Copies of this chain bind each other. A is one copy, B any other.
Amino acid sequence: MLEQVTVAGGGTLGSQIAFQSAFFGKQVIVYDISEDAIEKARQRLANLDQNYRRDMQATPAQLVETHQRIQLTTVPEQAFSHRDLIIEAVPEVPTIKINLYKQVATLRATNSILASNSSTFLPSQFADETGAPAQFANLHFANSIWQHNTAEIMGHAGTSVDTIHQLTEFAKSIQMVPIVLKKEQPGYVLNTMLTPFLENAAYLWGAGIVDAPTVDQTWMIGTGAPEGPFGIIDKVGLRTFYSIESQRKGNDPEYQPILEQLKAMIDRDALGVETGHGFYDYPDPAYERPDFLV
């Protein structure tokens, strides 16, 4: 069982992965590149207490123990030596990832596993850079991992069966539902469905077919979902959604009006839940009110 876990990168997802792992008993090191980054990671970890209290019924003692199991460091030798599992959660920039993988390669234990949380890259793109391709796969978490508790596990053709098996058992041990992909698939399972879904919804709004709440209303009534695509976009954040769609649809003339209107919302700081305004106002967005569907 993978017990000694390092999370490289203490950003939003990295902090959540570290917290969830420690909450379920793992010994965790959070590695980041500067004291400033470490301080921000420490703050993110502290802020997660309230989420685990509210959503996971965490007791004060559990929270204390969780934090006791987490160390933070900027020292690669401490972060990557003698660890069972190293989870990479650094920015989605190939050179940053490759530099990290090469550093890990010089320090890691022989049997250790390296897993990337990358949303956008396939493991085959970096397998050779890790120096131990059989022990490398992607292990992908969704935001608010304690609630959206899937762990998508995607190897490349050279990932060993044992690596997939160990990552699956690790995911279960920190109360994630492992979703094991049999082949590489850009976007994994969830985003292969979710991204075009949000994109089509944004089209209906941006092309002026109906307004955003009407899109959500239609989806919620039609499928019984607790929220519609614009509720989801507000949670994802308009900047992230705009960045994804700029890449996917930047060259599609038909989609330009949609991108322009998203950009206009971003320019006036309507970024979604994080700024309290997006397609809805927060807290208490209209789609959560009982009269939204009648």
Contacts and interface: CB of A to CB of B under 8 A. Distances in A.
Contact of A196 (B177, B179, B189, B197): B197
Nearest to A154: B209
Contacts of A226: 224-225
Please state the number of chain copies in the assembly: 2
A189 B59 CA distance: 45
A272 to B, nearest CB: 16
Given A190-B222, A193-B215, A194-B223, 14 more contacts: A142-B222, A150-B218, A177-B293, A179-B210, A180-B210, A181-B210, A182-B208, A185-B207, A189-B215, A192-B200, A193-B204, A196-B200, A197-B197, A224-B226
27 contacts: A142-B222, A148-B221, A177-B217, A177-B293, A179-B214, A179-B218, A180-B210, A180-B214, A181-B209, A181-B210, A182-B208, A183-B207, A185-B209, A189-B218, A190-B219, A192-B200, A192-B209, A193-B197, A193-B229, A194-B222, A194-B223, A196-B196, A196-B200, A197-B197, A223-B225, A224-B225, A225-B225
Contacts of A201: 193
A152 interface: yes
Contact of A177 (B179, B183, B200, B294): B294
A222 B219 CA distance: 16
A203 interface: yes
Contact of A193 (B200, B207, B208): B200
Contact of A221 (B177, B210, B224): B177
Contacts of A185: 204, 207, 209
Which of the four size classes fits the interface of chain A? 35 or more
Nearest to A211: B182
Contacts of A217: 150, 177, 179
B218 A152 contact: yes
**In the complex, the 4 A-B pairs of residues with the closest C-beta atoms, listed nearest first:** A189-B218, A225-B225, A190-B222, A224-B226
